[in-house]
Structure formats: structure tokens, C-alpha cells
Amino acid sequence: MKAFRADPELFRSRREQGDRADLSVDGLTLRFGGVVAVNDVTLRVRTGEFLSVIGPNGAGKTSLLNCITGYYRPQEGSISFNGRNVTHMHTHELVREGIGRTFQNIELFPGMSVLSNLLLARHIHYRYGFLPAALFFPSARREEVRHRRIVEELIDFLEMQSIRHRLVGSLPYGLRKRVELGRALALEPKLLILDEPFAGMNLEEKEDMVRFLRELHGEWKRTIVLVEHDMSIVMSLSERIAVLNFGEKLAEGTPGEIQDDPEVTRAYLGPSEEG
Amino acid sequence: MEFFLQLLINGISIGFLYGLAALGFVMIFKSSSVLNFAHGELVAIGAFLFLTLVTSAKIPVLLAFPLTLAGTFALGFLIERVFLRPLIGESLIFVIMLTLGLASMFKGIMLFVWGGNLYMFPDFLPSWLSFRGAGIYVPPVYVLSTAVGLVFLVLFGFFFKYSSQGIYMRSVADNQPAALSLGVNVRRVFALSWAIAALVAAMSGIVLGIINGINVHDLTSIGMKVFPVVILGGLESIGGAILGGLIIGLLETFTGGYLSPSLRDVIPYAVLVVILLVRPYGLFGLVEIERV
């Protein structure tokens, strides 16, 4: 066990200034035909915050995330990020704005190594042009080395040193989730959006993941939006929780407030006997 | 022996042309998993565009050639913009039906403009391109098609392996949501793959036109010949497309030479059936194993 914990250069340089990541969602409505997946949801995420979105199955959590990351187009409402209206931006533009995400059902390149998967995420940060790359100028080489170092630091941080060269398709589920988190981090996102990163994990894998998220938020001041079903994890990690039910926002508050909210209890457990 | 060598060389150069035509088909399938039934029409359009530029507009060949390539590149781009983009996110069967519609539309337009006649290019290939020796004679056009096939194979190999657009294309082919989450512009990838596909199709159309003459029906039927080629080589493999083309080209010329010219068009499909029985995913196709 290594006593030294990696401290990626990419976050160290920015910790003082802090990345601004203010997200505001206003009156967002998304319909699929007659089904209202997200109904008039208003939500704020402030820089440095850890916000969780919870709700029963089919409450519209993933749909909400897909709207924020540009995969779905909402019919009404607006989304703005750091003061810019990003409602109608394309996914690839949003990534450059600094919104990174992971998926509920892991989306990786299974035929490539862990290292390649992470390096691929660096492509938006490459600066050198065609000629320096083709002739492998010192400037291009220096940049390659810099990207490789950043990726290696992420590998250290996520404790994936031993699987660096393994094909992603050959890894167990829990480790793939970890690779996906690494790949999202390699984008250097200002806002990190995690869609059920604990789903399908065993207890040990969950504990590792909680440790990583705690450090990302606490030490490196990342702004994180988490969608998760495991209540003990949500309650211990989040600063603020938003509850969705049937596409509508039911409640919002600190973990303590949410636990005591009668509406939330009713949504999860059904109406009580006394009414 | 000389007869064999002659057939071998003809087969290889025809094979490179089939491979080249198939390459464009594979490009589109790789990036968007669309089977393009209008591919033969793209081949024909390239040949007719070149013909018009050379004969009617009297533009020198060396200038007409890049102009044709630029024109078809733009056409591929336009097809994606106008016809395919509205269908992004729709079920694949709609897109494939659309390419069938495009095929009859383009064919109709070409018959309207140029008619069903057989045209010939003026003889413009220099004779030093030909090869004579060991009792065989290789006409310049066969040398040209082999050279063009090889050059494009190498170019595309480098493009996919090293250029960022090529890497984006591969990432989209591999896993579209993942590519999106990494900030790859998927629309641009689709547009580019159509543009490049139209370009290489035109390329093979021009050279095939020099060999067999230019006729709407003959050239568009190449679109059907592409199927045995790509299924043989594996639908996602560039190298497989070229190799599949070579195999089909050789089979055709050898059957034509040794058995009977009328069997030429049948044998490739017969061999295709046999190969699919043994290797259903083609020679270089992805073997998809899914855990259940």
C-alpha cells in the first residue's frame, strides 16, 4: 500500500483559483411524445458543490442529465453554465465548455487499453498542428509527454497502475466504472456529472469509489452532480440533494432535511396508513 | 503460363478497383453503420462528371481529375447534409430505405442527362504507363488502377491510424455515446465519411470507365458487386475491402478466362456463399461476442 497519494498537476494548478462551475436549470421540460420525462424542473449547482439527484426508477434523473449534457433536446426551459446559455449547444461543444460525464451503462472503447481510453479523452487539449505532429517536433513531443503524465497521474489516483495496459473489455465491471471516471477526469471537466457510478458494484468497489469521490470533492474542490440509488452513499457524500418524482422536483435540501421530508418518504415508501 | 500471368495481372488491377469502390462503402458503414445502396450511383456520377469535364467542357485531364474529385467530395457532403442529417437518431432501416431512394433518384437523373448510351473517354493515358515483357502486355489503365488502389490503401491506412479526424471516425464507429461524451463532433464525422466515400467511389468510377466505357447501367451495377467484396472482407475493415476486391477481381478474370465469360458474374456470389458458411463475419470482420 502506497502512502503517497497522487496529486494530479492538472488540479493542483487550479485549486487556488478554483474552476467556476455554476449551472442553473430553469423550468426544464422534456417530453417523449405524450410522456413527460422532465416537468418544469429548476435546479442550481454552485461552484465547488456536491449535489445529488435522487428519485424512484423512471423519475427522470438520467433524462435530466442527458439534457444538461446535450444528448436530449428539452422542449421548454433553459440551461446556463457559467452565465452562458447552453440549452441548444451540441454535446461536443459542451465538453469543451467543461462538462464531463459518465454513463449508467458504461460507454468505453472495449478493444483498447485503459491507457488509450484515457489518452483519447485528452484530444480536446492537444494544441500542436499537423506539421509538428507529422515531423514529431520537440514541441509536439513535449506536449505528448505532458498529456501522458496527466493520464498517468489519474491512473495513480484511481489506483489502476496494474491494469494500465489491459484491454478494457477484459476488465471486471467495477474496474470499468473506475476507468470511465478516469476518462471523464482526463477531460479536465469543471463540472463532473456521474450517472449511477455505484450501480452493480460490490461493497469493496463501492468503498473505493466513495473514497475517490470524497477526495475529488474535498481535496480538489471539484463540482460534482451525482445520480445514485444507494441512499447511504448519497447521504454521506452530498452537501445538497434534489429529489425527482415523475419528472417533477419534489424537494431539495441538505441530507438531513431530505430524510425528514414527509413528501419524500411518501414517494419512496407509498402513502402511510394514517394518511 | 503467359495466359495465366495475363489473367493474374488483369485480375489484380480490376480487383483494386473493386476494392477502391468497396472502400467508400466501408467508410460509411464504419462510421454510421449504414449500408449505402446508392454507392454504385456515386461511382457512376464520378465517371460522368469526369466525362463531361473532359469532353464537353474541354478541360485538360490533369485539371479535370482534381475538379471531379472536389465535386464528388462536395456532393457526398451535400447528401449527408440534406438527406441523412434529418434522420440522425431514427431507426437504421429508414436510413437504408433512404439510400435506396437516393439510388433510384440519382440513376434517373443520370439517365435523363446522359441517356443510356455507352460513352468512351478520349485516349489520354500516356503509353509509358504500359508494361510489356515476359510475353505479356499490361495496358496503361491497368497499371494506373493498381497504382491508384495502392496509393489510396496507404493513404487511408495513415489517415485512420494517425490523423485526428481518422481517430474520431474510429471512435464513433466503436462507441457513439462514448465518442460524444469525449467531445467528438459526430455530425462532422458523418459528413466527412460520406464526402470521402463519394470521392473514392468517383475515383474507381473514372478508372472503370476507362476500361469498360461509361454506361449508367454498367457502372451502377458496381454498387451490387460491392456487396460480395465487403462481406467477404468484413464490413468494417479497410484492408479487408481491398483484399476482398482482389479476390473477387481474380475470381472473375480466371472464370472468364478458363471457364466461360458468362459465368463471370455468378462465381463471385457462389464463393461468397461458401465463405460466409465458414466465416460468417467475413475474413477480417469484427467477431462480435456478446455476453448474455
What is residue A124's predicted lDDT score, i.e. its pLDDT? 84
Measured distance CA(A226)–CA(A65) in Å, rounded: 10
Confidence of residue A273 (pLDDT cuts 50, 70, 90): low
Confidence of residue A15 (pLDDT cuts 50, 70, 90): very low
Higher pLDDT, A215 or A272: A215
* Nearest of B184, B182, B93, B89 to residue A73 by alpha carbon: B89
Is the pLDDT at A1 greater than 60, yes or no? no
Return the residue of B nearest to A111 by Cα: B174
- pLDDT, averaged across chain A: 86
Say if B20 falls within a structural domain.
yes
Residues of B in contact with A127 (CB under 8 A): none
Confidence of residue A11 (pLDDT cuts 50, 70, 90): low
Is the pLDDT at A2 greater than 80, yes or no? no
Residues in chain B with pLDDT values less than 70: 89, 285-292
Strand ranges (E), B43-135 = 131-133
What is residue A14's predicted lDDT score, i.e. its pLDDT? 52
**ipTM of model:** 0.73
Say if B111 falls within a structural domain.
yes
- Across A6-20, A155-169, B26-40, B221-235, the highest mean pLDDT is recorded for A155-169
Say if B192 falls within a structural domain.
yes
Q: Does B180 touch chain A (CB under 8 A)?
A: yes
Residue of B171, B180, B181 best to disrupt the A interface, most CBs of A under 10 A: B181
What is residue B266's predicted lDDT score, i.e. its pLDDT? 84
Confidence of residue A274 (pLDDT cuts 50, 70, 90): low
Higher pLDDT, A123 or A17: A123
Of B162, B178, B184, the CB nearest to A107: B178
Confidence of residue A79 (pLDDT cuts 50, 70, 90): very high
What is residue B290's predicted lDDT score, i.e. its pLDDT? 53
Least confident among A194-203, A242-251, A252-261, B259-268: B259-268
Show the domain range for B89: 2-223
Measured distance CA(B261)–CA(A153) in Å, rounded: 65
Q: Does A187 touch chain B (CB under 8 A)?
A: yes
For A27-45, what is the mean pLDDT? 91
Task: List, in order, residues 6 or more apart from A198 with CB less than 8 Å away.
Answer: A177, A206, A209, A228, A229, A230, A233
The CATH-assigned architecture of domain A9-105+188-269 is 3-Layer(aba) Sandwich (3.40)
Residue B39 CB neighbour total at 10 angstroms: 28
Q: Please provide the size of chain B in residues.
A: 292
Q: Count up the domains in chain B and report the number.
A: 1
Return the residue of A nearest to B177 by Cα: A107
What is residue A18's predicted lDDT score, i.e. its pLDDT? 56
What residues of chain B, 228 to 287, have a C-beta less than 8 Å from chain A? none
- Across A108-122, A129-143, B126-140, the highest mean pLDDT is recorded for A108-122
Of A90, A103, A123, the CB nearest to B177: A103
Q: How many CA atoms lie within 13 A of A253 on its CB side?
A: 11
Say if B36 falls within a structural domain.
yes
Of B168, B171, B185, the CB nearest to A109: B171
**Closest approach of chain A CAs to the CA of B268, in angstroms?**
32
* Nearest of A212, A204, A226, A217 to residue A65 by alpha carbon: A226
**Closest approach of chain A CAs to the CA of B87, in angstroms?**
15
Residues of B in contact with A187 (CB under 8 A): 182-183
Is the pLDDT at A4 greater than 50, yes or no? no
For A190-217, what is the mean pLDDT? 91
Cβ atoms of B30 and B176 closer than 8 Å: no
What are the residue boundaries of the structural domains of chain A, listed by start?
9-105+188-269
H or E, element range at A52: strand A50-54
Residues of A in contact with B162 (CB under 8 A): 133
For A155-160, what is the mean pLDDT? 91
For A111-136, what is the mean pLDDT? 85
Partner-chain contact B171 A120, CB within 8 Å: yes
Residues of B in contact with A96 (CB under 8 A): 183
Is the pLDDT at A236 greater than 80, yes or no? yes
Which pTM was predicted? 0.76
